[in-house]
């Protein structure tokens, strides 16, 4: 729907590819802020990336 509108208003048939590339850039920026969870227990109660306070 958005792609059809963009193609109709710009007259450029390549606009859906540009739209997809922009969405991928947004996704890559979001991945920068994702916490790594490798080697973390699936049964644990701790939050990955946060250091536990003992004491």
SS3 3: helix
* Separation of alpha carbons 6 and 18, rounded Å: 10
pLDDT digits (tens, 9 = 90+) for 6-26: 999 999 999 999 999 999 999
Average pLDDT, the chain: 86
Q: What is the structure's pLDDT at 53?
A: 64
Average pLDDT over residues 13-42: 90
User: Is a pLDDT exceeding 80 seen at residue 45?
Assistant: no
Q: Report the C-alpha dihedral over residues 2, 14, 20, 5, rounded to 10 degrees.
A: 0
């Amino acid at each position: 729907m958005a792609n059809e509108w963009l193609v109709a208003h710009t007259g450029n048939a390549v606009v859906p590819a540009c739209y997809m590339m922009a969405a991928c850039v947004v996704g890559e920026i979001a991945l920068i802020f994702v916490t790594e969870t490798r080697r973390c227990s699936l049964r644990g109660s701790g939050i990955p990336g946060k250091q536990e306070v003992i004491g």
